[in-house]
Amino acid sequence: MELKLNSIKFSRNNKRIDFEYSTTKDIKKYFSDESFFIEFEEDISSVPFEILIIPFLANVMPIAWFAGFNVNVESVDSIFLESLTQLKKEFSKYYSIDLPESNNLKYTQSLRSDLKFTNKAMLFSGGVDAYTTYLRHVDEDLHLITIKGADIKLNDSAQWEDLTNYLETTDLINKNIKHYISSNIRDFITFEVDKLLPNLGWWGKIQHGLSLTCLSAPICYIHQIDILYIASTRSIKMKFSPWGSMPETDNLIKWSNSTIFHDGYELSRFDKVTTILNSSDNYTIKPPLRVCYNEFKSSLNCNECEKCLRTMFSIMVQGKDPNKYGFEIDNTVYERIFNKLQNGFSTEGTKMYWMEMIENINLSNLFIFSDRESEINNLTKIKELVNNISDKEIGVVSDFNKFKYSIIKKFPKTFTIYLNFRRKFL
């Protein structure tokens, strides 16, 4: 069983690379008919081959480990090769799948560059995690890297345009150099890859940390970036469960000139909002937080989903107006929160977020929209509701949701047509 990288093809004025590969029949089921591609906004033809293929290897090698096939390439960066070996050992600790010690990578030569870089960068989306990392390292003149094809689908031009307009017009980050990358990182593989894990979720549990950081390797080479920050999405304060982006794995990712740093893991989400609010006191301009990826929102955030409500609530209980941080809301927020939480929490992490906010309520510091008495009464109802939600009401992946997920993965174009229809008519 083998996948062989046959060639790399440049196009669009050397801004796009397509990885053309072949597979034996027994592993063809893991890959779609489209080749893996990455598109940048600058010429990347000067980047050495062994750096250019880092994104390809980052996305393919974990599949090779779990499915048990070899990957054959011409040359590889020696530092990244060692990184892959360490990553495989780390993943083997968390999953009840026997991963052999060999790294499954066959190559003709390994090379290493001794160039020394000094610039810093981060993956940036505009959310709570991203702004926390940005503000903690604001003095480092960070390059900001944003990727299309991960949270925002490649064919979702509307959301991508909203995001890039937001990034280009937000005053707080207007001096930072920005880079945009597009890739079919989630589309060149099939649902068969998800089935390599017992409860699905390949992107979240395995792929996204390694994939997103390594997509940036050519940018890091061209712009001499030695440290690339990826903001934590989880916290040491949470009950541990394996995740595709955590310090145990992200901090193992490196190649000849660059290393990855998983930032903010010691902070809970409430701590991060606190960091943003405290740091914002030093700025006239407040960071407009972009926390929502609702398909049907008409502004920066939908102001209705659990993630929006959670973020607004954490701002309010610290005495700040969420309308100054990218939201549009009034005292009806309490009714929205109460209605949303009556169905319980979707995950253990979500429960922890709300419990921590409830524990940090200080009525003397609460932001009041209009009527203090009624808002405190509504807050008390929410507090009681959160405290009374049992663990039984924390969601698990149902058989129906597994089936729905498989249909979406198998028929992505049909699902896109459905979403576009909903946006226009529903």
128 burial type by CB count under 10 A (0-12 exposed, 13-18 middle, 19+ buried): buried
Q: DSSP states of 45-71 as a string?
A: TTS-HHHHTHHHHHHHHHHHHHHT-EE
What is the structure's pLDDT at 242?
A: 84
Task: From residue 401, give the alpha-carbon distance in Å to each of 119, 198, 290, 396, 404.
Answer: 43, 14, 27, 9, 5
Tally of CB atoms within 10 A around 32: 14
The rounded distance, in Å, linking the Cα atoms of 79 and 254 is 7
Output the pLDDT for position 423. Answer: 46
pTM over the 0.85 mark:
yes
Output the pLDDT for position 403. 56
- Helix (H/G/I), strand (E/B), else coil: 342: coil
d(CA 306, CA 397): 18
**Low-confidence stretches of the chain (pLDDT beneath 50):** 392, 397-398, 423, 425-426
Are the C-beta atoms of 290 and 127 separated by less than 8 Å? yes
Q: Give the pLDDT of residue 310.
A: 96
Report the Cα–Cα distance between both ends of the chain, in Å, rounded.
47
Helix, strand, coil % in the chain, rounded to nearest 5? 45, 15, 40
Q: CA-CA distance, 163 to 148, in Å (whole number)?
A: 10
pLDDT at 279: 94
Spatial CA neighbour of 74 closest among 102, 45, 35, 111: 111
| pLDDT at 100 (0 to 100) | 72
Closest to 306 measured CA to CA, from 271, 377, 260, 357: 357
**Is the Cα dihedral 150, 151, 157, 160 positive or negative?**
negative
What is the per-residue pLDDT for 297? Answer: 75
pLDDT score recorded for residue 24: 96
> Taking CA 249 as the corner, what is the angle to CA 200 and CA 112, rounded to the nearest 5 degrees?
125
Q: Which of 153, 133, 151, 150 is nearest to 142 (CA)?
A: 133
Identify residue 71 by its one-letter amino acid code: V
- Beta strands at 254-255 and 178-183: parallel, antiparallel or unpaired: unpaired
- DSSP per-residue letters across 164-231: HHHHHH-GGGTTS-EEEEEE-TTTSB-HHHHTTSTT--HIIIIIHHHHHHHHTHHHHHHTTEEEEEEE
- DSSP symbols for 362-379: -GGG---SS-HHHHHHHH
